[in-house]
Amino acid sequence: MFLVITYSRSARTSLRNVTRAHEETTVRQFGRAAVFAGTAFGAFQALRLREKHGRDVQVERIEPFVPEDVPVGVRDAAAAYEGRETATIPYRQFASGRDLPDPDTMREQDV
């Protein structure tokens, strides 16, 4: 799929027109941004907007998120932290002393 973000009023108007005219290609619309279907037609609409508005249009390819693609330690950390008993404890403190990754390591780690 394609994430299209606009950075000017005119580009935003064009994006709205496209999403209104092509509901079947619009997966989601968020005001100045939209997700287009990963079809040739979705790419065509994204490219048209880029041709028309240049750098005022950002296009990114996106794909559905599958939690299983993320290292198991990160998933376990998220589950453990959300299941914590003390609501106010920051994650850094929560992780130290447990077998959980510390936030700085996770910031450096590409997944």
Partner 1 sequence: MIVRVDDATWCGAVADLRDSDVSGRAVAAGVRGDDGPCRIHCRPPGPLFDHVGYVHADMGLRVRNALAVAARSLDLSAPQAAEIERLRAERDRLSVDEQPQRRTAAPEADPTELRERVATLRGRVQALEANDEDASDARAELRAAAAKLSESQTARIAAEEYRDQTRSDRDRRERRMRLDDRIANRERDARSALVERVREPYERAVFALDPTADPFDAPPVVAALALLRIGRPRAPVVLAVDWFPSPAVAADWIGGPVVRCPSDPAV
Cβ atoms of 58 and 5 within 8 Å: the answer is yes
* In the complex, minimum distance from the CB of residue 90 to partner 1, in angstroms, rounded to a whole number: 27
Helix (H) or strand (E) holding 20: helix 9-21
| Residue number with CB closer to partner 1 (60 or 69) | 60
For partner 1, how many residues bind (rule: CB under 8 A)? Answer: 10
Q: Does 56 bind partner 1 (CB under 8 A)?
A: yes
* In the complex, minimum distance from the CB of residue 10 to partner 1, in angstroms, rounded to a whole number: 9
Q: List the one residue from 23, 31, 40, 55 that touches partner 1 (CB under 8 A).
A: 55
Question: Inter-axis angle of helices 40-53 and 9-21, to 10 degrees?
Answer: 160
Contacts 24+ apart (CB under 8 A), 22-28: 27/1
Residue 102 CB-half CA count within 13 A: 6
Q: Does 43 bind partner 1 (CB under 8 A)?
A: no
Q: Does 54 bind partner 1 (CB under 8 A)?
A: yes
Interface ranges with partner 1 (CB under 8 A) = 6-9, 12, 32, 54-56, 58
